[in-house]
Amino acid sequence: MTVEDFVKAMADVSGRDLSQFMLWYTQSGTPELACSLDYDARAKTARLSVSQVLPATPGQTKKEPMLIPLKVGLLGKNGDDLPLTLEDGTPVPEGLLEVSGREHAFTFRDIPSAPIPSLLRGFSAPVRLTISLDLAQIEFLMLHDSDPFNRWQAAQTYATNLLTAAARALAPAGPVDGKEAGRLADALATTAIAESLPASYRAEFLKLPNESDIARELARDVDTDAVRNAREALRAIIGRKARQTLVELYEANAEAGPYSPDAESAGRRALRSVVLDLLVGTGERTEVLRALRHYREASNMTDAIGALSILAQLDGEVRDEALADFYARWQDEPLVLDKWFAVQARAPGARSVETVRALLSHPKFSLKNPNRVRALIGSFVHANPTGFNRSDGAGYELLAEEALKIDAFNPHVAARLLGAFESWRILEPGRQARARATLQLLAAEKLSTDSYEIVTKTLGPI
C-alpha cells in the first residue's frame, strides 16, 4: 500500500479531507511554530497566537501550510492544568488544537489569572517550536508541568540558559549566576524526590545538558574550555545546594537484593549514578570516596562503568586505583576492555590528548581493531569536545595522524572519525584557524574516496 492509498483509506474511515495532511509527505524540511500568549485580565481570556513558518529547501522555495496537531496546556497559579474552552464555547479535549494556516489565533475563555503555557505536549508533531518565556516561567513549568517531556524540557532550557550566559560572559571561566543556579538546584531536587515519577525519568531530569548541546546553542565563537568550566561550576553548585537530598536519594535507591534487569531496577541504578555524579561534582573528598566505594561494591557492569566514568574525570590516586583495578579484572575480555579505553578517552581535562596518545601505544590497542579504534579514538573525537578542541590544536593533530594511518586499510572507519571536524565553523577564531589548517593538510594528502569526500565537504569554500 502506498502512502497515498493509506491516507485515502484514513480519509474514508474518518470522513475527513486529509489532502492537506499529505503535505507532510510531499514537502521537505521541518516546519516551525512561532507562538505567543497574551492574557486579558478584564475579559479573563488568553489568546494563543501561532505562526507557521516553512523554511525554503532545495527545489521547494514556496510551500503550502501544513496540518499540524498542537497539544497545549495552560497552567494556573497553583500549577494545575486549567480546563480549556474556546471563546465560542467549544471545549478543547486534551488540549489538542489544529494549526492549518500560516497564522492562527486561539482565544480561551474563563481563564482566572495569567497562565503559563505548556505547548507541544506529548511531542504532538515533529516541528520546531519557539515561545518567549522568562526564567521564572520556565522554573514554574519544571516544577509543575503535568506533561513529562515538557517538564524535562523546561529544566533543560533553564540550565542551558544559565550555561550559555556563563560561557559567553568571560571565556574561559564565565561565572554561573549563583542565585539562579540555586533555584535550579531546588527545582531539580523537588522532582528528584517525587516518588510518583519513575526513577528512570528522575535520572534523566537530573542530567545537565552536555557540552556539545551547549556549544550548539551558542552556535558561534564557542570556547570549549569556557563551556566546560561553566558546566562544572553549575554541577558543583547543584551538588552542594541539594547535597542532603542527593545523599538520601543515593542511599534510598541502593540494590535491596540480587541484580535484576527489569525496568524499575534499571531506573534506580540510573538515578543513583546521576546522583553520584552530582555529589562528586562538589569536589568533597567524602563524595570521591563514595564513588570509589560504589565502584568496588558494584555487582554489575552498569554500576561499575558508571562509577569508573565519574572517577576517570578526576586527577590522582583514586582515579588511578579504579582504572588499574578494572584493567586487572577485565583485560582478557575484549568488549569489556573497550569500555576501559572509552572511559579514559571521554574524560575531559588538560592532558586528555596525552592520555589518548599513551593509550595508542598500549599493548592491548591496535589500529587494525575497529572496535578498539572506535572505543579510543572515536570516543575522544566525538565525546570529548574539550580534549578534541584543545586550544593548541593537539587534538586535531592526533586525529589527522591516526586517521591517515587507518585510511590506508579501512577508509570507512577513517571517514567516520574525520566527521568529528563537522562543527569547526562554530568555534572561536583560534580553534577555527587550527581546525581549518588541519583539514587543509588532510585535503592535500592521498586519501580514500570516503575520507576525501568528508574532508572536502567539511572544509567547504574558504
Give per-residue pLDDT as tens, 297-333. Answer: 999 999 999 999 999 999 999 999 999 999 999 999 9
- Per-residue pLDDT at 168 exceeds 60: yes
- 3-state DSSP assignment of residue 115: coil
- The answer to whether 153 and 180 are in contact (CB under 8 A) is no
Sign of CA dihedral 205, 210, 213, 219: positive
Check if CATH label 2.60.40.1840 holds for domain 30-132.
yes
Residue 77 pLDDT grade (very low, low, confident, very high; cuts 50, 70, 90): very high
Residue 43 pLDDT grade (very low, low, confident, very high; cuts 50, 70, 90): very high
Give per-residue pLDDT as tens, 25-36. Answer: 888 889 999 999
pLDDT of residue 460: 87
- The answer to whether 134 and 81 are in contact (CB under 8 A) is no
- Per-residue pLDDT at 171 exceeds 60: no
Q: Which residue has the cell 511531542?
A: 123
Higher per-residue pLDDT: 53 or 462: 53
pLDDT of residue 173: 47
Q: If residue 72 lies in a helix (H) or strand (E), which one and from where to where?
A: strand 68-75
CA angle 318, 324, 328 (to 5 degrees): 145
Sign of CA dihedral 383, 385, 389, 390: negative
Of 155, 160, 129, 131, the C-alpha closest to 142 is 155
Higher per-residue pLDDT: 443 or 17: 443
Mean pLDDT of the chain: 93
- 3-state DSSP assignment of residue 120: coil
* Average pLDDT of the residues in 204-217: 95
Higher per-residue pLDDT: 11 or 107: 107
* Average pLDDT of the residues in 74-84: 96
Give per-residue pLDDT as tens, 369-414. Answer: 999 999 999 999 999 999 999 999 999 999 999 999 999 999 999 9
What is d(CA 122, CA 128) in angstroms, rounded to the nearest whole number?
A: 14
Sign of CA dihedral 205, 211, 213, 219: positive
Query: What does the domain layout of the chain look like in residue ranges?
Result: 30-132, 365-462
pLDDT of residue 462: 59
In angstroms, the Cα distances linking 360 to 64, 347, 367, 375, 399 are 54, 16, 8, 11, 12
- Per-residue pLDDT at 14 exceeds 80: no
Q: Please give the DSSP secondary-structure letter assigned to residue 60.
A: B
Give per-residue pLDDT as tens, 50-72. Answer: 999 998 888 888 889 999 999 99
Task: List all residues 6 or more positions away from 120 whose beta carbon is below 8 Å from its beta carbon.
Answer: 33, 70, 71, 72, 127, 129, 150
* Average pLDDT of the residues in 249-271: 92
Task: List all residues 6 or more positions away from 456 whose beta carbon is below 8 Å from its beta carbon.
Answer: 443
- The answer to whether 241 and 186 are in contact (CB under 8 A) is yes
- The answer to whether 164 and 213 are in contact (CB under 8 A) is no
Task: List all residues 6 or more positions away from 293 whose beta carbon is below 8 Å from its beta carbon.
Answer: none
Long-range contacts of 306-312, Cβ-Cβ distance < 8 Å, separation of 24 or more:
306/269, 306/273, 306/276, 307/273, 307/276, 308/340, 308/343, 309/343, 309/346, 309/347, 310/273, 310/276, 310/277, 310/280, 311/280, 312/343, 312/344, 312/346, 312/347
Residue 264 pLDDT grade (very low, low, confident, very high; cuts 50, 70, 90): very high
Task: List all residues 6 or more positions away from 91 whose beta carbon is below 8 Å from its beta carbon.
Answer: 83, 84, 85
Give per-residue pLDDT as tens, 334-355. Answer: 999 999 999 999 999 889 999 9
pTM higher than the cut 0.85: yes
Residue 257 pLDDT grade (very low, low, confident, very high; cuts 50, 70, 90): confident
Identity at 429, one-letter amino acid code:
P
Residue 174 pLDDT grade (very low, low, confident, very high; cuts 50, 70, 90): low
